[in-house]
Amino acid sequence: MTQEFGVYDPATAKEIKRRVMGDSRSTKLGYDSESGPLQSEYYGVLTENLAAATNPYAGWTKAKVRILMYSDYSARNMVPASGDEALIEAINRSTSLSASSGKFVIIKQIMNEWAFIWVDC
């Protein structure tokens, strides 16, 4: 690959990214204790059952999701993150979606709530 990234060649750009992100990126959750989650999307696992909403406008339900983090970034292996900051309460507005604890999910922050984008049902 010979495409340049601004004024940097690919090898230099990769080295800059490694130095900025650090070698221990796989152990970082992406969470700041003052401002909360640093990402707007996460892989996770339901820690409790998720019931279907009765009405998407006002009859929504919620469930807690434990965020997954890389245990080995280069191999893309993931493990559940530990600590209370790794739990996010997500909102379900779907009247046809329900899932049991332990299911794999993808959540995304939309406005001021975390929404289920995909659930392994």
Q: What distance in Å separates the CA atoms of residue 43 and residue 71, rounded to the nearest whole number?
A: 13
Domains of the chain, residue spans: 10-119
Please name which of 95, 116, 102 lies closest in space to residue 52, comparing C-alpha atoms: 95
**Domain 10-119 CATH (choose: 1.10.1240, 2.10.25, 2.30.29, 2.40.50):** 2.40.50
Give residue 63's Cα distance to chain centre. Answer: 15
Each residue's pLDDT tens digit in the chain (121 positions)? 455 556 677 777 777 766 666 544 333 455 544 555 567 899 999 999 999 999 999 999 999 999 998 887 788 888 998 888 889 999 999 999 999 999 999 999 998 899 999 999 7
pTM: 0.68
Q: What distance in Å separates the CA atoms of residue 31 and residue 40, rounded to the nearest whole number?
A: 11
